[in-house]
Structure 1
Amino acid sequence: MQIKDMRGVLLCSASAMALALSAPVAKAQDASEEDGFLGLLVLGNNKREVQTDTAAPETVINAEEIQDRQASSIAELIDTVPGVALVNSGTPTGAGINIRGHGADGTYGANQKVQIQIDGASVGSEELYRIGTQLTTDPELYREVSVIRGTVGSFEYGSGVIGGVVRLDTINASDLTDGQVGLSGRQTLGYHGNSNARISSTILGWQPTENLEFLFNYTRREQDDYTDGNGDVVSDTASEVSSLLLKGKYSFGDNAAQSLTLSFNESTSDEKDVPYDAFAGNAAFGNVDRLTETKSAVLEYAYNPLGNDLVDLTATLSYADQYIEQEQVSGTPFGIQDADHRYETTKLTVKNSALFQAFGVKHTLRAGAEILRKERLNAASAPGGTDQRLALFAIDELDFDNGLTVTPALRYERQEIEASTDGNNIRAGETFNNSALMGGISARYAFQNGFAVFGSVAYTAGFPIIDDVDYADYPTLMTQTEKAVTHEIGASFDRVGVFASDDVVMAKVNLWQTRLWDYTSSGSSFAEFDRQDTKGVEIEASYSHMSGFYVDMNANISSGHWTKFRSGTNERYRERYDGMPPTNLALTLGKKFNEQLDVSWEGAFFKRFEDTPGFAVHNLRASYDIDTGFLKEAKLRVGVDNLFDKQYQTHLATRPAPGRNIKVSLTAAF
């Protein structure tokens, strides 16, 4: 992207912010304000709220949007976030999450440049050859999913985060019981016509007392092979996934200031006679029977005493176990098809948030420590070993009480990595030690008229991974960190009463640029890479009117290139980086009628990327609240994805997208 192109985007973005299009919580002013009344709280109608109150590029998908979208996987749920692209979709293990050009790349389904956490447990970021994502879990288990793009908001969660962080928070029993003593439940039945998908989700929440709550959730999805826009069956896209969530919370102490929460999350995918290559279905690797099990257990202690702003403590002990069992059923044996993969991650995170004032500045200081141990089973395509880390982090939000907020962040991390078995060039028990100090700073200034400007710079370091012990150049690969600096600048707008007294406009535009060097993710060919430069623009905007009309919009424009060395020389040359998300625009127009019926149209427009043609896809959604008189909630949801049965394939994908797909679900809650 040229600088002049970025200027054009900025001008367009400013116009978009003036016309902008979602709505958050807004304050409606009242005539009695002069008597001290601050106004009535009015909720917007939009599917998604734009996060205008932070300099971090973050998008939050709440429980209502999770249910309305009727996505088959977490990857499909977040693909409307600007800067997020999927390496395929349609199957739980064949999809991968790519954020700002990092993460899934078609060869590996994940890497540490995109961190994924479920209730704080680190999952699904192993580089397994052609197996795809390990995030085998169902969207129905979650109350909120947030996507932090880039580095600046990541220091609390991990190192080497260049793409971003995906955080998933599971449902609480109190989400069903509304905090009241008693038993509540929700049953959802769904059907997707294209793939003959059948979905059942059962959730029970029980509060025997005000301070004790339990939750049970079991969700099962079964689908056949789907058809593309030409009506052709896309083979090997059938799947069966079952997910289980058990959760309990006990609050105690003065004013119930302390709590213990224990959760267990398990998802299983069982595939028979499917290509080993979960991305492209490459016949050269043959077919396998593949069982994927993802488990996580989290124990959290929280202490937030009333009247003490210096203490808001959480201690989280988590255990994540990802297991993939494979058995070759056809094809030429390469020694990788029968490989079983397992990696277990145990992590303890202790952090505290303190509010205080010093030198005339208000501080919100989040500081903590983290201990992590990852154990990986040795396999033909994935060497085994252990990865142990100790990290300290601190993020201090300084509020100068004049509209200016400055947030410095630091993270120190130390690693000891050990090979567990003899490899091609290494002996079992050999260890490597690495450490790095990383951090960044962001600043935001809010004007009185609803506008705000912000900017940030952040540096991170990615540590060696167990995979790299198997290369001849392992002494370098195991002692060199990947390094990246990201600069961001942007503006936001958030105001009530722009075009009418009872509307809300929100918008946010973010320009970013990242430089990555000391690149080792290419394994043995790392020496040919000098650096990688990527940049882009992300836009989110929304409009909501009290009549029920709403508009949501987001867009992404990004590009990247490599600087490489010509073989055997120090001469450098540039080469385009093809792993970037495509340029695209998503637009939603909707209207709510009498708080019962919500109807919307959604358009997704993608620009041509080299050999991948541009295309437009249209979706329709409707939800209707049924008044039964005896149920807490009864809701019918109907959606049509790819309304005009468009034949298309997104950039980074290796198989055609589904054709027209009618989705229906019925939810009943008591």
Structure 2
Amino acid sequence: MHASILRGTTALVCLALAAPAAAQDEAGFLGTLILTGGKRDLSFGSALSRTVVGEEEIADRQASTIAQLIDSVPGVTLVNGTTPQGSGINIRGFGANTTYGTDQKIAVLVDGASVGSEELYRIGTQLFTDPLLYREAEVLRGTIGSFAYGSGIVGGVVKLESKDASDFTGGTPGFAGAQTLEYSSNGDGAVSSTTLAWQPTQRAEFLLNYTWRDQGDLTDGDGDTIGNSAFTTPSGLAKARFTFGETDAHELTFSYSRTVADDKDVPYDQFATTGGSFGNVDRLTDTRQAVVDYRYNPASDLIDLRANLSYADQKIEYDYVPGSSPLEGTPTFPFLVDTVNADQRYETTKLKVSNRARFDTGTVGHDLLGGVELMLRERADNDAASAPGGEDRRVALFVVDEMSMGPVTVTPALRYESSTVESATTYGSFDNDALMGGLALSYDVGNGVSVFGSTAYTEGLPIIDDLGSGDAATARMHNTEKSHTFEIGAEYEGSDVFATGDTFALRGNAYRTEMWDITSFSAGGSASGFLERIETEGFELEASYGMRNGVYFDVAGHLGEGTEYNPDDTDDVWRNAAADRLQLTLGRKWDDWLDLSWEVVHTADKRDSTGDDLPNSTVHNLRATWRPEQGLLDGTEMRFGVENVADLDYVGHLASPTRNAPGRTYKVTLTQRF
């Protein structure tokens, strides 16, 4: 395929030059924020691969799901469509796959609550929530930035931050809000999102949001109906924030969000477009998250304390639709009905307490983040649906120390985690622990140029889904999956680079990951057991250029490959490897009132969920945002979008071969702020 990417791109990375990036917002870990003139404000920082999709881009993209929103990030793949029930998030070849919505190698957080983390058969990520509830979606790629968020994270972390009342009031006491209406031509999609914000004083604010999203079955580029692509998802968000104490050192935030999907006569297999052998079901999915976040930030460099208590709950209730399975009346049918009628529920309660301290030891400046995390995951027993019940109790300690010595920054990170997984039936109880960590290095060359590198090691502890009977299951519960990731790159940021008043930011990084002691993936072909190891490598590029007259260019790209090795010494292309992808956006802004853009997305080296090669695809999207600044329309935002302008008929990377991508889609959005 490609010659070794690390050999072929290390020199390119060292010349690529891009700008610095912040991560782990609790600590300002690994850098500072740099804003550029394009549609996406690039956020760079020494060694961390971090991309932030801000509130304006969330609105401009007019996405139906979180997965659809962030698939524009380098290395991120949207698996299996644009519906919350069937889609999944894959980062650098890990996360959603062709069987489960997750492989535990990525983490998804909603205001700090862990969601979408169960290995439920053919259900997708279980990330049932609406993009319009959020002000920011942040993607951390790889392992080096994950130690404050979890263990066994190979692909990365997705962090969603919900909107605040002050986003609408501007921090001024009073009432404010917004009403959004949207129509999508493909599937006659309709959206209504209502936000009410009240800030009675500078120290208190309250927000309510209700979003109703409805979409019929989509059609592909040939005009054929894409089965199992319709959905209706009402969502709600309630949030309150208070500041108090001397110098407002204390801050307390409460948030509660909920999304319900009540689907009738739909395939049990959400990755498929028809019912198949499993037939159809009536499925009710009820997802909710509740978070209490406390921050104590007095006038002291040594104290910036945060405590986040979260609770995530998801219930999935099924009822088989009689006559929908071709196996009805056969000897295997009773077992099948038990499977598709099996209700599921899982709850995750988590407490995370951390403190950030800044101090000097001699000539070394420290930005130290340390914390503890306690988590209890409970799942109702449901062996009929291959979803064993039980409890997963975890305790974790982590520390990240950003040490600055002139132009050099050294950032070691450590995480220790222990777990007890206890079966709700007869599988027993299992204890495991692991110490993991990484080291990031960066050097500020000067004149806007910096170079960086990192190494990170993590272990994935056994989970409830690993429970089972027999020696193989017992061995699995005593094993931790291990991985090692190396990254190297360079970045540049500057102004007046090519012309007076322009801004330019560019970042390139190469990565290589090896994973072993695998229990998540079975060997392919004639081999038996689990894969021996997985190796992936790739190169990611992000760039943004803005001119004084408002013209801008944004670039996001990924080039990669992966290999899976069987225990019989055979190997194959890694089944979940990310595709090669290049996304270019050309646009122009006229101050803040008009933004026109043309986006081109070219994807190569694609495979469907069966491993068969797919042809390359090039998709064109047009977007316009208009904000009238005078008269009756002052305070109004109008957005117009055309997705898949050429009405291309194609299948997305890692999608089911029967699930074509949507054809040409016109979208119109009207938002009125008040």
Three-state SS of the structure 1 residue aligned to 2:415 is strand
Partners of 1:52 and 1:494 within 8 A in 2: no
Pair 1:414-2:418 in alignment: yes
User: CA 1:252–1:85 in structure 2 vs 1: closer, same or farther (change >3 Å)?
Assistant: same
Partners of 2:35 and 2:42 within 8 A in 1: no
Pair 1:565-2:567 in alignment: yes
* Alignment partners' CA distance in 2, 1:471 and 1:535: 36
* Alignment partners' CA distance in 2, 1:316 and 1:42: 28
Partners of 2:13 and 2:488 within 8 A in 1: no
1:258 positional shift: 0.2
| CA offset digits 1:452-482 (Å, max 9, x no partner) | 1100000000011111212521211111000
Pair 1:262-2:254 in alignment: yes
Three-state SS of the structure 2 residue aligned to 1:76 is helix
Partners of 2:536 and 2:562 within 8 A in 1: yes
1:405 positional shift: 0.8
1:90 positional shift: 2.1
| CA offset digits 1:75-107 (Å, max 9, x no partner) | 000000011001112211110111111111110
1:576 positional shift: 1.6
Partners of 1:288 and 1:337 within 8 A in 2: yes
| CA offset digits 1:289-322 (Å, max 9, x no partner) | 111111010011110012x010000111110001
Partners of 1:55 and 1:443 within 8 A in 2: yes
1:632 positional shift: 6.4
Structure 1: state its 5+ residue gaps: 26-40, 567-571
Q: Which amino acid aligns with 2:278?
A: F
| CA offset digits 1:496-551 (Å, max 9, x no partner) | 11101211110111100111011001379984421111111111111011210100
Pair 1:595-2:592 in alignment: yes
Pair 1:398-2:403 in alignment: yes
* Aligned residue in 2 for 1:230: 222
* Aligned residue in 1 for 2:491: 492
User: CA 1:292–1:491 in structure 2 vs 1: closer, same or farther (change >3 Å)?
Assistant: same
* Aligned residue in 1 for 2:341: 338
Pair 1:302-2:302 in alignment: no
* Alignment partners' CA distance in 1, 2:20 and 2:373: 37
| CA offset digits 1:23-72 (Å, max 9, x no partner) | 999xxxxxxxxxxxxxxx99643111222223111100110000000000
* Alignment partners' CA distance in 2, 1:395 and 1:632: 46
1:607 positional shift: 1.2
* Aligned residue in 2 for 1:285: 278
* Alignment partners' CA distance in 1, 2:445 and 2:111: 35
Give the TM-score normalised by the residue count of structure 2: 0.92
Three-state SS of the structure 2 residue aligned to 1:324 is strand
* Aligned residue in 2 for 1:362: 365
1:630 positional shift: 6.4
Matching residue within 391, 406, 409 for 1:386:
391
Partners of 1:649 and 1:656 within 8 A in 2: yes
* Alignment partners' CA distance in 1, 2:377 and 2:120: 15
Three-state SS of the structure 2 residue aligned to 1:75 is helix
Three-state SS of the structure 1 residue aligned to 2:56 is helix
User: CA 1:594–1:302 in structure 2 vs 1: closer, same or farther (change >3 Å)?
Assistant: closer
User: CA 1:604–1:516 in structure 2 vs 1: closer, same or farther (change >3 Å)?
Assistant: same
* Alignment partners' CA distance in 1, 2:311 and 2:572: 41
Alignment of 1:81-100 (within 5 A): 81-100=73-92
* Aligned residue in 2 for 1:31: none
* Alignment partners' CA distance in 2, 1:257 and 1:251: 7
* Aligned residue in 2 for 1:376: 379
1:611 positional shift: 1.8
Alignment of 1:76-225 (within 5 A): 76-225=68-217
* Aligned residue in 1 for 2:429: 431
Partners of 1:95 and 1:279 within 8 A in 2: yes
Alignment of 1:516-531 (within 5 A): 516-522=515-521, 527-531=529-533
* Aligned residue in 2 for 1:479: 478
Three-state SS of the structure 2 residue aligned to 1:179 is coil
Partners of 1:376 and 1:385 within 8 A in 2: yes
Partners of 1:213 and 1:249 within 8 A in 2: yes
Partners of 1:535 and 1:560 within 8 A in 2: yes
Pair 1:649-2:651 in alignment: yes
* 614-623 or 442-451: bigger deviation: 442-451
1:578 positional shift: 2.1
Q: Which amino acid aligns with 2:352?
A: T
Give RMSD over aligned pairs: 2.0
Partners of 2:295 and 2:305 within 8 A in 1: yes
Partners of 1:601 and 1:621 within 8 A in 2: yes
Partners of 2:10 and 2:488 within 8 A in 1: no
* Alignment partners' CA distance in 1, 2:482 and 2:14: 33
Pair 1:660-2:659 in alignment: no
Q: Which amino acid aligns with 1:386?
A: E
User: CA 1:44–1:56 in structure 2 vs 1: closer, same or farther (change >3 Å)?
Assistant: closer
| CA offset digits 1:389-433 (Å, max 9, x no partner) | 000000000011x211111000000000000024xxx3xxx2100
| CA offset digits 1:595-623 (Å, max 9, x no partner) | 31100000000114362100100000000
1:284 positional shift: 1.2
* 470-479 or 313-322: bigger deviation: 470-479
* Aligned residue in 1 for 2:638: 636
Three-state SS of the structure 1 residue aligned to 2:47 is coil
Pair 1:536-2:544 in alignment: no
* Alignment partners' CA distance in 2, 1:353 and 1:390: 20
Q: Which amino acid aligns with 1:310?
A: L
* Alignment partners' CA distance in 2, 1:161 and 1:533: 15
User: CA 1:175–1:146 in structure 2 vs 1: closer, same or farther (change >3 Å)?
Assistant: same
* Alignment partners' CA distance in 2, 1:371 and 1:543: 43
* Alignment partners' CA distance in 1, 2:362 and 2:21: 34
User: CA 1:233–1:431 in structure 2 vs 1: closer, same or farther (change >3 Å)?
Assistant: same
User: CA 1:530–1:138 in structure 2 vs 1: closer, same or farther (change >3 Å)?
Assistant: same
User: CA 1:76–1:457 in structure 2 vs 1: closer, same or farther (change >3 Å)?
Assistant: same
User: CA 1:135–1:526 in structure 2 vs 1: closer, same or farther (change >3 Å)?
Assistant: farther
User: CA 1:3–1:588 in structure 2 vs 1: closer, same or farther (change >3 Å)?
Assistant: same
User: CA 1:614–1:471 in structure 2 vs 1: closer, same or farther (change >3 Å)?
Assistant: farther
Structure 2: state its 5+ residue gaps: 23-32, 328-332, 607-611
Partners of 2:15 and 2:490 within 8 A in 1: no
User: CA 1:523–1:532 in structure 2 vs 1: closer, same or farther (change >3 Å)?
Assistant: closer
* Aligned residue in 2 for 1:604: 601
* Aligned residue in 1 for 2:468: 470
Q: Which amino acid aligns with 1:584?
A: R
| CA offset digits 1:116-154 (Å, max 9, x no partner) | 000101111110001112100000000111000110000
* Alignment partners' CA distance in 1, 2:563 and 2:468: 28
1:2 positional shift: 4.8
Partners of 1:99 and 1:581 within 8 A in 2: yes
Q: Which amino acid aligns with 2:566?
A: K
User: CA 1:535–1:75 in structure 2 vs 1: closer, same or farther (change >3 Å)?
Assistant: same
Partners of 2:520 and 2:530 within 8 A in 1: no
Q: Which amino acid aligns with 2:457?
A: Y
| CA offset digits 1:161-210 (Å, max 9, x no partner) | 00110000000111111110000001100001011000000111101111
* Alignment partners' CA distance in 1, 2:108 and 2:4: 35
Partners of 2:530 and 2:567 within 8 A in 1: yes
| Alignment size in residue pairs | 639
* Alignment partners' CA distance in 1, 2:294 and 2:181: 35
Give the TM-score normalised by the residue count of structure 1: 0.92
